[in-house]
């Protein structure tokens, strides 16, 4: 009987330890494309590293040969992910070729998952001379020795563009005024679903509730550490094991 009791509690202890270790971090560990890159975790996943259930549909990232996290938007547009804010649910993207201004001309930055918080109109001006001395931003990657391309908020510097006979056109660009970025360097996009803001702010991490379905839950909120849980578990199991072993020894002695 004593051996049976020992086997039972050993099995229970091992099972408990396995269950406590089987958490979100173990199944879907945080991934980095490089030491300086953003951490990749739910709702994002690294497609070459994480199982599908580690990320929400539409949040797949990949790591390129330069160690950069890459997001593919509609029309096969690849952008480098510079920043992911999980608490405020926004990402900052830039062009891997370092000429975002060129891609602003015809890129679609919205998708079924990511949206621009708002749009701002910016005027591009192709001029025969450099107007940088007048405080107008120059776009180096679109300029050459024969002409200079400038960018400005629509409606500003129009007098200069007219006087110097610049060719102008206006482009609607994703912007976020409370998170100002250089529109020729990076683009700010947000996502609304899955909504994990409150979970992230409470110190937890989101993930799917089960092996199937799209229900999302909050896991790993601050509480007892694994070591503390293990201590409590041992404190409950070992005394019980000793008591039952003692009882088994006593009963076997009387049987003799």
Q: Which residues face 152 on adjacent strands?
A: 123
Residues 136 and 11 in one domain: no
CB-based contact 85:130 (threshold 8 Å):
no
Q: Which residues face 125 on adjacent strands?
A: 150, 168
Residues 68 and 159 in one domain: no
Longest dimension (CA), the chain: 114
- Ranges of residues in the chain with a pLDDT under 70 are 1-26, 76, 177-181, 223-256
CB-based contact 120:101 (threshold 8 Å):
no
Domain boundary among 175, 195, 211: 175
pLDDT for 105 equals 84
Residues 127 and 250 in one domain: no
Give the closest residue to 58 by CA, choosing from 173, 194, 176.
194
Parent domain of 2? 1-23+224-256
Residues 108 and 43 in one domain: yes
Residues 92 and 19 in one domain: no
pLDDT for 7 equals 45
pLDDT for 236 equals 42
CB-based contact 241:6 (threshold 8 Å):
yes
Distance CA(177)–CA(169), nearest Å, equals 22
CB-based contact 123:153 (threshold 8 Å):
yes
Give the closest residue to 51 by CA, choosing from 216, 212, 217, 219.
212
Residues 104 and 149 in one domain: no
Q: Going along 11-129, which residue ranges are E strands?
A: 45-46, 60-63, 69-73, 77-85, 90-94, 118-127
Residues 135 and 253 in one domain: no
Q: What is the pTM of this model?
A: 0.72
- State the DSSP string of 21-37: H-SHHHHS--B-SSTTS
Residues 132 and 198 in one domain: no
Three-state SS for 115? Answer: strand
List the strands of the sheet with 90-94, edge to edge.
45-46, 60-63, 69-73, 77-85, 90-94, 187-190
Residues 58 and 10 in one domain: no
Residues 32 and 74 in one domain: yes
Radius of gyration for the alpha carbons in the chain, expressed in angstroms and rounded: 29
Residues 112 and 189 in one domain: yes
Phi and psi (nearest 5°) for 186?
-150, 160
pLDDT for 154 equals 92
* Domain count for the chain: 3
Residues in the chain: 256
């Amino acid at each position: 009987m004593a051996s049976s009791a020992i086997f039972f509690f050993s099995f229970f202890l091992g099972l408990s330890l396995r269950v406590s270790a089987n958490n979100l971090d173990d199944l879907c560990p945080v991934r980095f494309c490089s030491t300086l890159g953003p951490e990749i975790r739910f709702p994002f996943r690294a497609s070459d590293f994480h199982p599908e259930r580690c990320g929400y549909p539409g949040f797949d990232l990949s790591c390129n040969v330069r160690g950069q996290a890459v997001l593919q938007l509609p029309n096969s547009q690849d952008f480098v992910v510079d920043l992911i804010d999980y608490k405020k649910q926004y990402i900052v993207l830039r062009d891997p070729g370092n000429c975002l201004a060129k891609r602003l001309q015809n890129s679609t930055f919205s998708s079924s998952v990511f949206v621009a918080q708002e749009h701002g109109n910016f005027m591009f001006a192709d001029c025969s001379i450099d107007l940088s001395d007048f405080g107008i931003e120059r776009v180096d990657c679109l300029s050459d020795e024969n002409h200079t391309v400038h960018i400005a908020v629509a409606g500003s510097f129009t007098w200069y563009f007219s006087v110097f006979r610049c060719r102008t056109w206006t482009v609607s660009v994703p912007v976020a005024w409370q998170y100002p970025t250089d529109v020729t360097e990076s683009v700010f996009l947000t996502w609304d679903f899955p909504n994990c803001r409150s979970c992230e702010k409470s110190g937890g991490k989101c993930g799917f509730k089960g092996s199937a379905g799209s229900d999302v839950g909050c896991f790993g909120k601050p509480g007892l550490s694994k070591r503390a849980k293990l201590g409590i578990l041992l404190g409950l199991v070992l005394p019980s094991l000793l008591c039952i072993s003692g009882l088994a020894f006593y009963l076997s002695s009387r049987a003799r």
